[in-house]
Structure 1
Amino acid sequence: MIKLKIAVQKSGRLHDDSLRLLKDAGISIDNGKDQLKAEAKNFPVEVYYLRNGDIPQYLKDGVVDCAIIGENVLVEKGEDIEITERLGFSKCRVSLAVSKIFEYDSLSDLDGKRIATSYPNTTKKYLEKRGISADLHVINGSVEIAPNIGLADAICDIVSSGSTLFKNNLKEVEIMMKSEAVLAVSPKLPLDSAPILERLRFRIQSVLKGRSSRYVLLNAPNDKLDTIVSLIPGMKSPTILPLADENWSSVHSVIKQEEFWEVIDQLKEAGAQGILVCPIEKMVI
């Protein structure tokens, strides 16, 4: 039986969210013994648990068919690998940071300086594109300590909340790129595995659409129904049902999560009452 081979991070920031996404997509994986490869019980897929930095090469070589990986790692080690879905979690940025006492006005202040980083390719390309020459020190591990021990004048590293920079007396001065988890595909994906990948993508898309949407139920006075419906158009159009009170209707629709509070405020102002908002587990369009 043909199985799609998908790589996920063995441990770290992406691991739990990657497995949660697959679980929400209805894929049950038995990895109770912490093996490096596990099969799904109910979907033709094998999951490979790999070191994050090794995944791009596995994709290039066709050892795995696809992977859930941070976009920042893909840019650093596998820029030619196709991204087929943006997954919306594990968001971060790749940034340049300097000591808080470093007088920084522009990127030119780093010309000729020493920069410690775990992302030498990304850093080099970013600086060269802007005509900046710097001495790069490649460090695998705690890059943030480099300025404090005199190893470097600046660092390039991933930043999420910025708390690690703060604790090490550093300040973020340049955002080089923004990153999130993505589904990347091997350039050597076998033709007979492509249909399975499309099935997986369909499931993932349904999960992501559900996560980013909310189901809304409300009561609307009929004389204000057109205004209220215009605020929540839904996927195609809202469902409108008559209530026992002939002057009122029940309206059911979907809104985007990021627009939630703004839309709710507008609905109240338009006369909507009894507004209920529910999470959506999956949304198939």
Structure 2
Amino acid sequence: MKTRDRLRIAVQKSGRLADASQQLLAQCGFRFRQSRDKLFCFGETHAVDLLLVRDDDIPGLIAEGTCDLGFVGRNVLAEQRLAQVAEAGSSALCEVRALGFGGCRLAIAVPQEEPWVGPEQLQGRKIATSYPALLANYLRENRVQADIVVLSGSVEIAPKLGKAEVICDLVSSGATLAANQLKETAVILKSEAVLAAADLDFVDERAPVLDLLLRRLDGVMAVRETKLLLMQLARADLSEVKLALPKDAMASVLSSDEDRDELCLQAVVRSALDWAELERLKGAGARNLMVLPVERMLA
């Protein structure tokens, strides 16, 4: 195992995960200075550096030890892990944390006019994809034999080009499929950004930095949907207001030394707060309601 004194993380240089990955690290208190070639970011606050690369290169950089960790799509990680298992019999790549952004799904899509019965209707057909290992695994699990056509991009136009009858591709909103007269059917993999690694058993200076990173990630993730709810109310309305609070609310009540009948209530709410819930609280007697974001939590 390679030893070094700084943790190195591979991050997508550009694309749908790039900005969100660096924003998450910033929320965790990590600051970086980018090199002139924009391929490397030196950690200014902690012994953590970033290598800015193509998404598809991240699992390989982790597996070979060039990087210790990587922010990568679960779809890319799972595809390369299956490919390594097929080639070498095993893979050290693993998912350390789900990061809660970049959500999408890898799905089978067929022509809109074709009714979907099940995976058996893929038997003997040509299926275009950029994820041959994941598709092959799905077909194998369902005992289906099909011809996998590997494309590096623009998979959705494969049927129009006559290269395939069906596709297996990433889907977010489904708009691209609809524009190409295709419809989503079976979901092979639900994907999002994940923190990936191959070996976390560090015996050098990276160990405490890794522990700090994981603790801060957990703290940020724990409060991602959390809100702080503040309000004023009369003591006589306290029981009704408590009943109107969301079920997951953790509330505390403060009284004023100047007016014992006037209270302030603050509550940590982990679920989304909509207007109807605020209006219900107001109807129960709450006043001057405020909903504030919670950036981080340290238990």
Normalised to the residue count of structure 1, the TM-score between the two structures is 0.91
Partner of 1:37: 40
Partner of 1:240: 253
Superposition map of 1:37-116 within 5 A: 37-78=40-81, 80=91, 81-116=93-128
Residue 143 of structure 1 and its aligned partner are, at CA, apart by: 0.6
Residue 39 of structure 1 and its aligned partner are, at CA, apart by: 0.9
Q: Conserved in 1, the CA contact under 8 Å of 2:100 and 2:192?
A: yes
Q: Conserved in 1, the CA contact under 8 Å of 2:223 and 2:270?
A: no
Q: 1:255 aligns with which of 250, 260, 269?
A: 269
Residue 283 of structure 1 and its aligned partner are, at CA, apart by: 2.1
Residue 101 of structure 1 and its aligned partner are, at CA, apart by: 2.8
Range with bigger deviation, 135-144 or 265-274: 265-274
Residue 120 (str. 1) matches residue 132 (str. 2): yes
Q: Conserved in 2, the CA contact under 8 Å of 1:240 and 1:249?
A: yes
Q: C-alpha distance in 1, partners of 2:276/2:134? A: 38
Q: Conserved in 2, the CA contact under 8 Å of 1:233 and 1:253?
A: no
Partner of 2:27: 24
Q: For 1:38, give the aligned amino acid.
A: C
Residue 245 of structure 1 and its aligned partner are, at CA, apart by: 4.3
Partner of 1:195: 208
Q: Conserved in 1, the CA contact under 8 Å of 2:127 and 2:164?
A: yes
Distance of aligned partners of 1:263 and 1:242 in 2 relative to their CA distance in 1, 3 Å threshold: same
Q: What is the identity percentage for the equivalent residue pairs of Structure 1 and Structure 2? A: 36
Q: Conserved in 2, the CA contact under 8 Å of 1:115 and 1:156?
A: yes
The secondary structure found in structure 2 opposite 1:258 is coil
Distance of aligned partners of 1:259 and 1:124 in 2 relative to their CA distance in 1, 3 Å threshold: farther
Residue 260 of structure 1 and its aligned partner are, at CA, apart by: 4.7
Distance of aligned partners of 1:202 and 1:148 in 2 relative to their CA distance in 1, 3 Å threshold: same
Q: For 1:157, give the aligned amino acid.
A: D
Residue 206 (str. 1) matches residue 209 (str. 2): no
Q: What RMSD over aligned residues (CA atoms) do the two structures have, in Å?
A: 2.2
Q: C-alpha distance in 1, partners of 2:136/2:283? A: 53
Q: C-alpha distance in 1, partners of 2:22/2:37? A: 13
Distance of aligned partners of 1:258 and 1:33 in 2 relative to their CA distance in 1, 3 Å threshold: same
Partner of 2:85: none
Q: C-alpha distance in 2, partners of 1:134/1:39? A: 47
Q: For 1:198, give the aligned amino acid.
A: D
Q: C-alpha distance in 1, partners of 2:233/2:138? A: 54
Normalised to the residue count of structure 2, the TM-score between the two structures is 0.87
Residue 78 of structure 1 and its aligned partner are, at CA, apart by: 2.2
Residue 147 of structure 1 and its aligned partner are, at CA, apart by: 0.8
Gaps of 5+ in 1: none
Range with bigger deviation, 29-38 or 90-99: 29-38
Partner of 2:13: 10
Partner of 1:220: 233
Residue 32 of structure 1 and its aligned partner are, at CA, apart by: 5.5
Q: 1:175 aligns with which of 176, 182, 187?
A: 187
Q: C-alpha distance in 2, partners of 1:93/1:74? A: 14
Residue 259 of structure 1 and its aligned partner are, at CA, apart by: 5.0
Q: Conserved in 1, the CA contact under 8 Å of 2:109 and 2:168?
A: yes
Range with bigger deviation, 223-232 or 173-182: 223-232
Q: C-alpha distance in 2, partners of 1:23/1:71? A: 22
Residue 262 of structure 1 and its aligned partner are, at CA, apart by: 6.2
